[in-house]
Amino acid sequence: MYVVDGFEFQTKEEARQAKKESDGIRYIKDQTDMSDPDTVYKLYLRLNKPGYFFTPVGLSFLVELQEYLHTIPYIKNEDIRPIYIPEDKKAVVEVKKQTEGYKKKFHVALFFTIVLSAAIAVMFGITYVSGHSPYVVDYENELIDKYENWQKELEKREKAVEEREKALNERQDATEWTK
């Protein structure tokens, strides 16, 4: 059994929720002028909505505010709304599960956003760095120039070989005539 502000709770989760509400109530009491009826009335209207208090700790605080407002003569009892009581704890659990689902989806989306942003930043970095280095086109032109020079050199050598062959053939022909 778990006890919070004089209330006994069956589960640790309920006690944790009650403790959270109790801490919130202390903060509200510390930060609010509880002697001013108008301030208390506005506070009551703001807190008496679904989603604020689920445990007896929070609901008893609303009852305190409601009883205080009933003692103020210029605030009509019709203007004081009845206290909202959550229908079912299952609904609260379902809302929490839904919230956890949204949190998980948010974390997944945040993760992918960070990863994709990093990938985009890396792409920009690569583009910046590669802009300052030779492109593939430069390598291609260099290779083409190399092969053109090689081809010209081969043509010169072929021409030289042909001239030598021609000269040799002429010598051979000349020696044959002399025999």
- How many CB atoms within 10 Å of residue 54? 20
Kindly tell me if the per-residue pLDDT of 93 is higher than 70: no
Query: Is the pLDDT at 175 greater than 80, yes or no?
Result: no
C-alpha 57/C-alpha 22 separation (Å) is: 6
Beta carbons of 57 and 22 less than 8 angstroms apart: yes
The mean pLDDT value for 147-170 works out to 92
Instruction: Say if residue 88's pLDDT is above 70.
Output: no
Rounded Cα–Cα distance for residues 29 and 145 (Å): 86
**pLDDT score of 89:** 60
Give per-residue pLDDT as tens, 49-69.
887 778 888 888 888 888 888
Split at pLDDT 50, 70, 90, the class of 179 is low
Give the whole-angstrom CA distance, residue 29 versus residue 47. Answer: 13
Task: State what percent of residues in the chain have pLDDT above 70.
Answer: 89
pLDDT greater than 70 at residue 97: yes
Cα dist. 66→73, 80, 128 in Å?
13, 7, 67
User: What is the per-residue pLDDT across 120-149, written as a single tens digit (0 to 9) for each?
Assistant: 999 998 888 776 665 666 778 888 899 999
CA 35 to CA 29: how far, in whole Å? Answer: 10
Beta bridge mates, 7: 4
Q: Say whether pLDDT at 41 is over 70.
A: yes
Higher pLDDT, 18 or 50: 18
